[in-house]
Chains A and B, each alone.
Chain A
C-alpha cells in the first residue's frame, strides 16, 4: 500500500518542564530555559485539541516530570480523554506513594532510566550518588502497584560493552521492555560527545550484537528504534511502514512553553500551541515537510540502503551539520 501522511501524530512526547533534579552527562535538555511553563489549564486545553485529532499516546518527558506538581492531575485528565499515558523518569522521586498515584492516574507504562547494571557507573553517569538504588526501587514500587514498567538506557561508552548485563538486570526486575537508546549529540550530549559517543564501526558492532540478543530473548522486548539499523540484515524493522526517523511522521514533541518541535532532539520550533492551530503546524510546517521528504546527500547518494534508512537519524544529522539531510554521523557505510 502507498505510504501516507497521517492526519495527526500517533504519539506526542511532551516536556512539561525542563527542570530536573539531576545533571546527567548526556542530557539534551539541560541547557534549555526552565522558566517558561504552561499552566495546568493551558496544558489540558492542548490535550483536548490532541484528543480531537485522535492522537493515541502522550509520553511525558523532561526535565524530570515528577517535579511538576500537577503531573498526576494531568495524567489523570489525559487518560480520561482516552490517551495511553506514559512518562520517562529518573526514578529518584518515585516512592511507594507516587507509584500508587501513578497507578491511579492511569499511567499505562512508566519508563525508568537506568544506564548500567553497576550502581557506581550509573551514579557517575547521572552525577547523582544513590540514583541507581532509587531507580531500581522505583521499578519495584511501580511493579508492586501494578504499573507496567519499561527501562531506558542510553547506549554510550560507559555501557556498550556491558549492555547484555543491563538487559539481564531489566528482565530480572520484571521490566517488560528495554529501550536501548542511541546516543544523541544534542545539548550536553554534544558537549560530551567525544568522551561518550561510539564510533560508527562501534555502533555497527553494537547493533549486530543487540539484534542477535533481541532475536534470542523472549522474556523481555528489546527496542532500539534507530533508523540506521535498517542497514543491517534482519534489521530492527519495528515500524516497517515508516522509514527513517519517525519524528514528524508518527510523532511530535511539545516543549514546556507550548512550542512544537519535530522531536525532543531537534530544537527547532515550528509553532506554538498557545498561538497556532495544530493542523496548520502538522500539515503546513516546512520543517516537517522536509523531514517527511528527505533527499539523499553526500555518501547517501551511493548507498543501496537509502530507501530504508533515509539517511538515518535526522536529529543527529542536524546536530552535527545543521542539515537534516546529511548522512547520520553514526553511519558506518564507507563508499568506495
Chain B
C-alpha cells in the first residue's frame, strides 16, 4: 500500500459541482448517495465516474496526504469516525493502484 498516494498526472478529471451539491444535499437528508456520480475521470480514453467518497479521496491524492490523513479529512466531510472510514480509503487506494490511476 502506498503511504502518500499521488494521482496519475495523465488522468484528466473534473468534479461536477452541481452533482456534488445534489449528492451533498442527499447526505444531509440522511439518504444514500453512494450511487451518485459527482466526478469524471478520463483514463487512456476510458471514462469513469466517482461517487462522493471516491471523489473526496481522489482530490486528496496529492502525494502529500498520507492514507490516515485522507481518512481524517473524509471523516470531517462525512461526519464519521476516522477508523470507520480508513478501511474504505485503503480499499479504494488499492483499487486505484491496481487500475494505474496512481503515479508509481
Contact = CB atoms under 8 A, between A and B. Distances in A.
A292 interface: no
Nearest to B16: A7
A57 B13 CA distance: 11
Nearest to A57: B12
A61 B69 CA distance: 45
Contact of B12 (A10, A221, A223, A242): A10
B30 interface: no
Interface string A246-269: 000010000000000000000000
A6 B18 CA distance: 10
Q: In the complex, which of the residues B19, B37, B44, B47 has the most CB atoms of chain A within 10 Å of its own CB atom?
A: B47
B12 A1 contact: no
B45 A10 contact: no
B27 to A, nearest CB: 16
The B interface, classified by DSSP as helix, strand, loop or mixed, is: mixed
A6 B40 contact: yes
A45 B36 CA distance: 34
Chain A interface category by residue count:
20 to 34
A41 interface: no
B30 to A, nearest CB: 19
Nearest to A84: B12
A221 B45 CA distance: 10
Interface string A1-22: 1111011001000000000000
A241 B14 contact: no
Interface string A21-54: 0000000000000000000000000000000001
The A interface, classified by DSSP as helix, strand, loop or mixed, is: loop
Contacts of A1: 35-37, 49, 51
B46 A239 contact: yes
Nearest to B22: A4
A54 B47 contact: no
B37 A4 contact: yes
Contacts of B17: 7
B42 interface: yes
B59 interface: no
A221 B44 CA distance: 9
Contact of A10 (B14, B36, B44): B14
Nearest to B45: A238
Contacts of A335: none
Nearest to B38: A4
A141 interface: no
Given A1-B36, A2-B35, A54 B45 contact: no
Given A223-B45, A241-B40, 8 more contacts: A1-B36, A3-B37, A4-B49, A7-B17, A54-B14, A237-B46, A239-B47, A250-B47
Interface of A: 1-4, 6-7, 10, 54, 56-57, 84, 221, 223, 237-242, 250
Among all A-B residue pairs, the 6 with the closest Cβ atoms: A241-B47, A1-B37, A239-B47, A56-B12, A238-B45, A7-B16
